[in-house]
Amino acid sequence: MRSAFFQALLELAESDERIYLLVGDLGFGVVEPFRQKFPKRFLNVGVAEQNLTGLAAGIALTGGIVFTYSIANFPVLRCLEHIRNDVCYHRANVKIVSIGGGYSYGALGMTHHSTEDIAILRALPEMTVVAPGDPYEAREATRAVAAHQGPCYLRLGRAGEPAVHSSRVDFQLGRAIQIRAGDDLTLISTGALLGTAVTVADMLRSEGVSTRVLSMHTVKPLDVDAVLRAARETRAVITLEEHSIIGGLGGAVAECLAEEGHCKVPFRRIGIPSSFCAQFGSQDYLRSRCGLSPDRIIAFLEPMLQAVRS
- Name 238's Cβ contacts closer than 8 Å, sequence gap at least 6: 185, 186, 187, 188, 267, 268, 269, 270, 301, 304
Q: Please identify, using beta-carbon distances, which residue of 59 and 124 lies nearer to another protein.
A: 59
Minimum distance, C-beta of residue 48 to another protein, in the bound complex (Å): 4
Q: Please identify, using beta-carbon distances, which residue of 62 and 166 lies nearer to another protein.
A: 62
Minimum distance, C-beta of residue 107 to another protein, in the bound complex (Å): 29
Whole-number Å distance between alpha carbons of 246 and 255: 12
Minimum distance, C-beta of residue 55 to another protein, in the bound complex (Å): 4
Residues forming the site for another protein (CB under 8 A)? 40-41, 43, 45-46, 48, 50-51, 53-64, 81-82, 85-86, 89-90
Whole-number Å distance between alpha carbons of 227 and 179: 14
Q: Is the distance from CB of 157 to CB of 101 less than 8 angstroms?
A: yes
Within the chain, strands assigned E span: 19-23, 42-44, 65-71, 94-99, 128-130, 152-156, 177-180, 185-189, 211-215, 218-220, 237-244, 267-272
Judged by DSSP in three states, 190 sits in: coil
Q: Please identify, using beta-carbon distances, which residue of 56 and 209 lies nearer to another protein.
A: 56
Q: Please identify, using beta-carbon distances, which residue of 61 and 108 lies nearer to another protein.
A: 61
Q: Please identify, using beta-carbon distances, which residue of 51 and 288 lies nearer to another protein.
A: 51
Minimum distance, C-beta of residue 43 to another protein, in the bound complex (Å): 8
Judged by DSSP in three states, 181 sits in: coil
Minimum distance, C-beta of residue 12 to another protein, in the bound complex (Å): 18
